[in-house]
Amino acid sequence: MRERTSERPVSPRNTRALDWMNAFLADVRDGLGPYLAIYLVAVRGPTYGWDEATAGMVMTIAGIAGLLATTPAGALVDKSRAKRALLVAAALVVTLASLSLPIVSGFTAVAVTQSLAAVAGAIFAPGIAAITLGIVGPRAFTRRVGRNEAFNHGGNAVSAALAGALAWKFGPQVVFYLMAALAACSIVAILSVDDKAIDHDIARGCTDGEEPCTPPPTLLQTFKASPALAVFAGACFLFHLANAAMLPSVGQLLGREVGAGAATSLVAACIVGAQLVMVPVAIIVGRNADRWGHRPILLVGMAVLIARGVLYTFADAPAWLLGVQLLDGIGAGIFGALLPVVVAAIMRGTGRFNVAQGAVATVQGLGGALSTTLAGVMIVQGGYNAAFLLLAAIAAVGFALLWWKMPETASQ
Distance CA 127, CA 246 (A): 27
Distance CA 69, CA 159 (A): 26
Give pLDDT, residue 232.
Answer: 95
Which residue, 162, 202, 119, is CA-closest to 24?
162
pTM for the whole structure:
0.72
Distance CA 393, CA 73 (A): 32
* C-beta of residue 283 within 8 angstroms of C-beta of residue 22: no
Q: Measured on CA atoms in the order 201, 204, 208, 209, is the torsion positive or negative?
A: negative
Identify the band that residue 43 occupies on the pLDDT scale cut at 50, 70 and 90. Answer: low
Give pLDDT, residue 30.
Answer: 62
Give pLDDT, residue 2.
Answer: 41
- Asked if pLDDT for residue 182 goes beyond 80, the answer is yes
Identify the band that residue 217 occupies on the pLDDT scale cut at 50, 70 and 90. Answer: very low
What is the average per-residue pLDDT within 128-142? 88
- CA 74-76-77 angle, to 5 degrees, is 65
Give the 3-state secondary structure of 100-120.
CCCCCCCHHHHHHHHHHHHHH
Q: Where are the alpha helices (DSSP H) in 171-293?
A: 174-192, 219-224, 227-243, 246-258, 260-292
What is the average per-residue pLDDT within 291-306? 95
Give the C-alpha distances (Å, rounded to integers) separating 280 from 180, 274, 277, 302, 323.
28, 11, 6, 18, 17
**Range of lowest pLDDT (124-138, 145-159, 321-335, 347-361):** 347-361
- The pLDDT tens digits for 51-98 are 767 777 877 788 788 878 888 888 888 888 889 999 999 988 888 887
More confident residue, 215 or 111: 111
Give pLDDT, residue 1.
Answer: 36
More confident residue, 306 or 44: 306
* C-beta of residue 6 within 8 angstroms of C-beta of residue 139: yes
Give pLDDT, residue 3.
Answer: 43
Identify the band that residue 214 occupies on the pLDDT scale cut at 50, 70 and 90. Answer: low
More confident residue, 10 or 132: 132
What DSSP designation does 314 have? S
Give pLDDT, residue 393.
Answer: 96
What is the average per-residue pLDDT within 301-310? 96
- Asked if pLDDT for residue 242 goes beyond 70, the answer is yes
- Asked if pLDDT for residue 219 goes beyond 60, the answer is no
- Asked if pLDDT for residue 335 goes beyond 60, the answer is yes
Distance CA 338, CA 282 (A): 9
More confident residue, 351 or 120: 120
DSSP count for the chain of H helices, then E strands: 18, 0
Span 12-208+217-405: which CATH code?
A: 1.20.1250.20
